[in-house]
Chains A and B, each alone.
Chain A
């Protein structure tokens, strides 16, 4: 009896929280289907009385919108790849190799997380200009080669792999690479999955860095286009909400695909902190 009551209570609480969390999305979708008139109707229409897909058609006819989805996908995809490879290598060195200065170096890596990134944008832009990479998608991808958070997370996961795996065959030169690629990496799949989602999300959603780096409209990423819509169509929330929804689709798909690895990955990532 008490068990059943507990169960009911649990579901009521959990559902209530879910409803609260999902409410903004309901409002977003509802608004995106409204016409301009319905938008400012009082009392408000909870569900659009005359739903229309016009906002979506308009969105995709706007200069640069479809292009920006493609750009965001390219940047996000390559950023994830670069981050995963580089971070896994660094994490391997920090967790499985015992060299002098390891801990100090790792602390330097971590300390960079505390610096507000906004202040580094102009120097970073100057740097990219020197390399003639400013205003290219590469200028967004390259910096992800160093991501302290990712290295930290993968290191935690690798630390949980027993030492015995390292003490197999020969531990020198090519031996290390073999161990890394054949043994350690396959064991970190959950970490990679989690990191993929987090890194993809970071890049997909990043606003300020691309705003500073990219100056040609055809190269803009999604958040820049979305916020410039905000500037140009200030009170046209129906259009803005359609844009917001569209900006969420790819990341939701990726999340759905990586979902099953997700919790276990975060678990190893967080627990030994």
Chain B
């Protein structure tokens, strides 16, 4: 035993001496430690157009069937820029961010890569991304809310490539059976709950509503009820406001009191989409990316409406953006690629034709093409919802914040504490752990 302790001490000692040696090593070389540098803006103009360039593009949203759609866009890009070869790599969502991180740390990140909203600020604030504001040309055709979401401290670090918002999807057949009128954009929580109750009354295995008690649903829910999770300048959390507690109580009531929404036991491990597709759910609040799946799998009539609010209306959106690596050797070509994939007419019309979410643009001809597809018949509700977009709280420690909030929402849902107590505890933990400076 003594020898063992001695040996461990030895390791520690060795560690210290080696650390000392390491510290004496020469100071940093240029190109290293490029936190917050923006000097790529000073690089000379784009290389001659005919010089062959290879760009690496890595992304996660175009996995599965969407990869072919993306390849189609890239072949159109090559028509305009025959000198640029794009090496595309697609990853699954779960592993993408772990791998992205190691690549960034090791200096091996792709020229152009994709970020979701949750991770955007973290990378933007680390100086890993290139400000491409001046390189992507005219941006007036973009949906400004989506574009602004990827603007950090006045710099446009990313361009949204896809865009999807959330609507209320309902099962027309169940509404008919319950004798309820279909939802309209004028609905509030009260009408929604009334309809949900009479649908719930149809059968013990049929439910009225599904709207998970999650971070995203909650930050939007408090907006619908005149509250917010942070002050407008995003300097302070306001999670435990009384109207927020009221929102949470209402949402939990849908599960525990009226039980129009199934609890975990009633879900029995089934997915929320599965429940809707099986015809046992009246209404579901979910993203427009469900359209394709529902069109294919639902054997009943369904349609959509703008999601009901309470004292006010609010809908939320999800967006992914392409960003450019600060260390790329070809900033102009990379920015051109980003601009093309995200906002060009060629790329966006391919996207619409493939029903791959919504392009983040406002070109009317392309959006008309989107509207022409049915079901849902009331597709214009997708655009109407855009009038009520609210942006989630954005902090550097985004994922950590979301996990903390979700944990406390779970505590309130399980009934182990009241909504107000849970939010008080949540506020306290956020203030302690999340650095807002």
Report A's interface with B, CB cutoff 8 A.
Answer: 40, 63, 103-104, 107-108, 111, 121-122, 125-126, 128-129, 134-135, 211-213, 215-217, 224, 227-232, 234-235
Contacts and interface: CB of A to CB of B under 8 A. Distances in A.
Contacts of A215: 99, 102-103, 108
Contacts, number: 71
B177 interface: no
A104 to B, nearest CB: 5
Contacts of B90: 63, 217
Contacts of A135: 108
Contacts of B7: 103-104, 107-108, 111
Contacts of B89: 216-217
A227 B96 CA distance: 12
A125 B102 contact: yes
Contact of A104 (B10, B95, B103, B105): B10
Given A129-B108, A134-B108, A231-B93, A212 B64 contact: no
Given A107-B3, A111-B8, A217-B89, A211 B98 contact: yes
Interface in B73-112: 89-95, 98-99, 102-103, 105-108
Contacts of A40: 270, 274
B353 interface: no
B210 to A, nearest CB: 16
Interface string B1-15: 001101110110000
B28 interface: no
Nearest to B4: A107
16 contacts: A40-B270, A104-B3, A107-B8, A108-B7, A111-B7, A111-B8, A125-B106, A126-B106, A211-B98, A212-B99, A215-B102, A215-B103, A217-B89, A217-B90, A228-B92, A232-B64
B271 interface: yes
A235 B102 contact: no
Contacts of B105: 122, 125-126
B63 interface: yes
Nearest to A124: B102
Contacts of A134: 106, 108
Interface residues of B, number: 27
Q: Which 8 A-B pairs have the closest CB atoms?
A: A107-B7, A228-B92, A231-B94, A129-B106, A231-B92, A125-B102, A104-B7, A232-B92
B430 to A, nearest CB: 26
B100 to A, nearest CB: 9
**Dominant SS at the B interface?**
helix
Nearest to A42: B268
B271 A235 contact: yes
A211 B106 CA distance: 14
A232 B63 contact: yes
A95 B91 CA distance: 47
A134 B106 CA distance: 9
Nearest to A230: B94
A232 B91 CA distance: 10
B143 to A, nearest CB: 28
A108 B6 CA distance: 10
Interface string B272-299: 0010000000000000000000000000
Q: Name, among A215, A217, A235, the residue most crowded by chain B CB atoms within 10 Å (CB to CB).
A: A215
Contacts of B93: 231-232
Given A125-B102, A126-B106, A211-B99, A235 B274 contact: yes
Contacts of A232: 63-64, 92-93
A108 B14 CA distance: 11
A213 B107 CA distance: 13
A225 to B, nearest CB: 9
B95 A227 contact: yes
A224 B90 CA distance: 14
A255 B90 CA distance: 35
